Amino acid sequence: QLVLTQSPSASASLGASVKVTCTLKSGHSDYAIAWHQQQPEKGPRFLMKVNSDGTHKKGDGIPDRFSGSSSGAERYLTISSLQSEDEADYYCQTWGPDITYVFGSGTRVTVL
Amino acid sequence: QVQLVQSGARVKTLGSSVKVSCKASGGTFSSYLIHWVRQAPGQGLEWMGAIIPMFGVTHYAQKFQDRVTITADGSSSTVYLELSSLKSDHTAVYYCARSAIDIGDFDLWGQGTMVIVSS
């Protein structure tokens, strides 16, 4: 069963960096994931796809301060030079060969 | 540039049905799956199901198998989500999203449709 685990919250100061983690359940450590941002009172926006080898492909118009990486079963979203508009919920998402799609529970990023 | 444009908010009564639409503006759905995702108030994102509009093939999450119907109209590049026998827990924002058939990241989202079920 596909399961993604995220910490409920993360925070960092304005201008600093924050790293959000998404962990794939055992047996699925080679799966790619996607990161989505949901700002308050808005719909989700695709940020990037992150592969198991750490390569990532961003969506159109996503700023350079957003990057992705991987280590084992963990997938990361790093936001550098944190801005006030980066305060949002961040969801990871993956998919299986049997046409199933799963979201993590989301991580709320707070800009201090 | 393709956008997914959803129908407006709806207020429905218990036991009734609602049909929400998602239209590809500026393009078509060819070679894509269109998904529906639910977000209950204060909650996270939950995948409900998807359709391949080109073929009319649907896939549903087990939780929603008997509660929703997803259809497509290729001539108008529109996908529909129908919810029947509405209950209070159907109150949520419903999003459509796109993914390639062979790559499952949701790379484009609709703006969302609020459905409120009232007694």
Chain B CB within 8 Å of residue A94 CB: yes
The mean pLDDT value for B5-14 works out to 97
Torsion of CA A77, B95, B4, A48, to 10 degrees: 10
Chain A CB within 8 Å of residue B110 CB: yes
Torsion of CA B44, B47, B53, B57, to 10 degrees: -170
Quickly count: other Cβ atoms within 10 Å of residue A11's Cβ: 13
Q: First vs last Cα of chain B: how many Å apart?
A: 41
Whether A59 and B107 lie within 8 Å, measured CB to CB: yes
- DSSP letter at B9? P
Chain B CB within 8 Å of residue A107 CB: no
**pLDDT for the residue numbered A52:** 96
Name the token pair of A102: 């799963």
Chain B CB within 8 Å of residue A9 CB: no
pLDDT in tens, A56-68: 999 999 999 999 9
Q: Residues 54-73, chain B: which have Cβ within 8 Å of A?
A: 59, 61
**pLDDT for the residue numbered B27:** 83
Torsion of CA B63, B108, A56, A68, to 10 degrees: -70
| Mutation for testing the A interface, residue in B6, B34, B35, B45 having most A CBs under 10 Å | B45
CA–CA distance, B82 with A68 (Å, rounded to integer): 36
**pLDDT for the residue numbered B102:** 83
Residue B14 pLDDT level (bands cut at 50, 70, 90): very high
Rounded to the nearest 5 degrees, what angle is found at the Cα of A11, between the Cα atoms of A7 and A14? Answer: 155
pLDDT in tens, B35-47: 999 999 999 999 9
Chain A CB within 8 Å of residue B97 CB: yes
Residue B11 pLDDT level (bands cut at 50, 70, 90): very high
**Confidence check: pLDDT of A92 > 90:** yes
CA–CA distance, B48 with A55 (Å, rounded to integer): 29
